[in-house]
């Protein structure tokens, strides 16, 4: 019988192969993979005692063992029967090396465009300059930074039309969805019967992309509203066709997706295994793949940081072009928004992803010189001094509360009463996004579980007091351990049969007709409609007044309250985590946390080992 108190998963994994010299490497690989790494970087194996805590072997063997001679290790994946691979001084589980290899091979296939097809696309763009000019920016750039001046949105749209594979990255409010609208406008001009798929890692992110496209003020002018309205956003799992209790999908290399264009939002959330399977299912002869995301956001919950790793292949910097390309793009741009010929030039010509990755530089949500703008930039750069300086500034858009003020907490959570008071469930589901409390961790008094209970108590007290004033019973909000009226929930498992997926948010409400509790969700397939489901069918869900920062990815809220742990040594709390949390806010963010915790997080960067960046950069 296993003694569970002494059981160590990483030791068990290492012991399974019964190789004394290999054992410390396998322990380290298992631990690193548990932290989201794809592989173990053999040039920087951790030496800290904390990392090796629980290891029951001789870790000094790390310095003397020759892995390439192990019967279990293949050099460069040549022997596919062996469970481990060494490549570029990195140790992989064979399966993850194969994922990386498949991603690179499929990217190469997708990026290839026959010269005659590329010229045909360029000819089409030149023949439609009058139409494309309607998509160009024409703004006052007097207060712009130099790298913000070019119309990166239209440049990205033109690139996406010319290429089969395009990445469009950028921070909040830089216009990623607007760029998609411009891409769709050009594609529709070329092919009125264009077949487009919209997808994202979570259901809510996919639905939000469609809603943002429909809300684009120029959608009607550009003639794309009808097409967008007909699109059915989905999760990537649903797009690929999940197979119950299997890691495979119905759509694959033998049965590829049948779309002309696939647009994926929130791509930083895609783990390496899923990205590999997505690329496998894209037909390079027929389909364009366009990825949207913020490379500075948190990496996926699953293994890898694929989106960021691909963007890192542009080591010379993003948005660099040949002189010929600059001249071509400038011919479509308003004179105030052209690419300067003296800059943004390609220096490293041999790169698989040259002119396939576009970064949108100008945020239209807030001024880059504002407190929010300076704070987010300092956080991305890891500039502790600037972060400390910024949080002392009094600003309505960014508030820093080092005292963890209970009155401020109650003032913010009281705004949840807006959706509770709203009788129309469809409007109430939209009003949920007016405010959101997001936590860095799950446990402790600053964690999501305790905070949800705290919010429930605060709201119950508020509605009890209001009912007492009116001399009536509080029927609006009485939380319990089971489902209850006006309870917001988040689905934590995929329910494809119900059309619900991990991350979908709904409201439990008592129906007037039957006086039964039902779960209501926005119907992503039918704009303006609701899904009504018995809560008993949704066993895997949680109350979601408060949610983790990881779960908040792919969402936007008018106002957020970010609650940080009081301990400064929690490795999970990184600059990417803080950046992701604060940028969920469209109008206002309040951070409850100490300066010490914020400084430690600013210095702490997520670094997941993978080999994909350097493998793409290696010239074959």
Binding-site sequence positions for ATP = 170-177
Binding residues: 170-177
Number of H helices, E strands in the chain: 23, 20
CA gap 218, 37 in Å, rounded: 42
CA gap 105, 101 in Å, rounded: 6
Closest CA to 205 of 496, 547, 542, 553: 553
Give yes or no for a contact between 505 and 490, defined as CB atoms under 8 angstroms apart: yes
Give yes or no for a contact between 471 and 460, defined as CB atoms under 8 angstroms apart: no
- Concatenating the DSSP letter of every residue in 424-454 gives -HHHHHHHGGGEEEEES-SSSTTSHHHHHHH
Which residues does residue 437 pair with via DSSP β-bridges, in sequence order? 546, 561
For residue 293, the 8-state DSSP code is E
Closest CA to 305 of 548, 616, 606: 606
For residue 338, the 8-state DSSP code is P
CA gap 280, 255 in Å, rounded: 9
Q: Where are the alpha helices (DSSP H) in 152-271?
A: 152-162, 176-190, 203-214, 225-230, 236-240
CA gap 233, 524 in Å, rounded: 7
Closest CA to 579 of 378, 309, 328: 378
- Concatenating the DSSP letter of every residue in 25-87 gives HHHHHHHHHHTT-SEEETTS----TTTTTT--S-GGGGGT--GGGSTTEEETT--TTSSEEEE
CA gap 365, 405 in Å, rounded: 28
- Concatenating the DSSP letter of every residue in 534-566 gives -GGG--SEEE-SEEEHHHHTT--EEEEEEE--S
CA gap 26, 17 in Å, rounded: 9
Backbone phi, psi, residue 131, to 5°: -65, -45
Give yes or no for a contact between 575 and 605, defined as CB atoms under 8 angstroms apart: yes
Closest CA to 547 of 460, 459, 435: 435
Backbone phi, psi, residue 548, to 5°: -70, 160
Closest CA to 242 of 491, 496, 493: 496
Q: Mutual orientation of helices 448-470 and 406-413 as an angle, nearest 10°?
A: 70
Helix (H) / strand (E) element for 288: namely strand 288-293
CA gap 437, 128 in Å, rounded: 47
Give yes or no for a contact between 25 and 66, defined as CB atoms under 8 angstroms apart: no
Question: How far does the chain reach from its first CA to its final CA, in angstroms?
Answer: 52
CA gap 592, 564 in Å, rounded: 6
Side-chain half-sphere exposure of 39, counting CA atoms within 13 A = 27
CA gap 75, 408 in Å, rounded: 58
């Amino acid at each position: 019988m296993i003694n569970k108190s002494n059981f160590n998963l990483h030791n068990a994994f290492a012991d399974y192969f019964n190789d004394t010299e290999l054992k410390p490497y396998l322990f380290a690989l298992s631990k690193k993979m548990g932290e989201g790494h794809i592989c173990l970087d053999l040039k920087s194996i951790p030496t800290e005692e904390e990392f090796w805590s629980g290891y029951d072997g001789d870790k000094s063997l790390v310095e003397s063992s020759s892995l390439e001679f192990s019967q279990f290790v293949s050099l460069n994946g040549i022997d596919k029967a062996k469970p481990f691979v060494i490549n570029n001084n990195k140790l992989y589980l064979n399966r993850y090396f194969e994922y990386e290899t498949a991603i690179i091979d499929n990217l190469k296939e997708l990026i290839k465009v026959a010269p005659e097809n590329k010229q045909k696309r360029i000819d089409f763009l030149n023949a439609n300059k009058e139409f494309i000019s309607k998509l160009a920016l024409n703004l006052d750039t007097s207060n712009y930074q130099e790298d913000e001046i070019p119309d990166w949105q239209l440049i990205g749209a033109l690139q996406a039309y010319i290429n089969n594979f395009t990445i469009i990255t950028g921070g909040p409010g830089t216009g990623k969805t607007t760029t998609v609208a411009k891409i769709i406008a050009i594609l529709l001009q070329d092919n009125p019967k264009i077949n487009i798929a919209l997808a994202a890692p979570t259901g809510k992110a996919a639905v939000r992309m469609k809603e943002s496209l429909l809300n684009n003020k120029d959608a009607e002018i550009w003639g794309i509203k009808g097409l967008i309205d007909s699109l059915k956003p989905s999760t990537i799992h649903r797009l690929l066709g999940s197979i119950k209790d299997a890691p495979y999908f119905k759509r694959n290399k033998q049965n590829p997706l049948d779309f002309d264009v696939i647009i994926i939002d929130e791509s930083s959330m895609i783990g390496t295994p899923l990205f590999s399977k997505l690329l496998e299912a894209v037909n390079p002869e027929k389909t364009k793949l366009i990825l949207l995301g913020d490379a500075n956001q948190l990496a996926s919950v699953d293994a890898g940081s694929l989106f960021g790793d691909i963007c890192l292949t542009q080591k010379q910097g993003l948005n660099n072009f040949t002189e010929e390309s600059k001249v071509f793009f400038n011919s479509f741009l308003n004179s105030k928004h052209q690419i300067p010929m003296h800059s943004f030039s390609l220096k490293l010509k041999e790169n698989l992803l040259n002119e396939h990755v576009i970064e949108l530089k100008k945020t239209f949500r807030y001024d880059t010189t504002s407190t929010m703008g300076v704070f987010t930039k300092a956080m991305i750069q890891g500039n502790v001094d600037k972060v400390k300086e910024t949080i002392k500034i009094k600003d309505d858009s960014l508030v820093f509360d080092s005292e963890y003020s209970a009155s401020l907490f109650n003032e913010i959570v009281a705004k949840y009463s807006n959706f509770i008071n709203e009788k129309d469930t469809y409007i109430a589901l939209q009003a949920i996004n007016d405010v959101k409390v997001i936590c860095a961790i799950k446990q402790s008094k600053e964690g999501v579980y305790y905070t949800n209970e705290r919010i429930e108590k605060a709201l119950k007290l508020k509605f009890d007091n209001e009912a007492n004033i009116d001399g009536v019973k509080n029927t609006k909000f009485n939380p319990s351990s089971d489902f209850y009226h006006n309870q917001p929930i988040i689905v934590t498992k995929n329910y494809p049969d119900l059309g619900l997926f991990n991350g979908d948010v709904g409201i439990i409400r008592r129906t007037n007709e039957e006086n039964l509790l039902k779960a209501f969700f926005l119907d992503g397939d039918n704009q303006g409609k609701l899904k009504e489901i018995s809560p008993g069918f949704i066993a895997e869900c949680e109350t979601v007044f408060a949610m983790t920062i990881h779960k908040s990815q792919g969402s936007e809220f008018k106002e957020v309250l970010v609650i940080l742990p009081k301990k400064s040594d929690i490795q999970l709390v990184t600059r990417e985590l803080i950046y992701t949390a604060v940028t969920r806010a469209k109008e206002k963010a309040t951070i409850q946390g100490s300066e010490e915790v914020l400084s430690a997080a600013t210095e702490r960067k997520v670094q997941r080992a993978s080999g994909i960046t350097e493998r793409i950069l290696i010239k074959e």
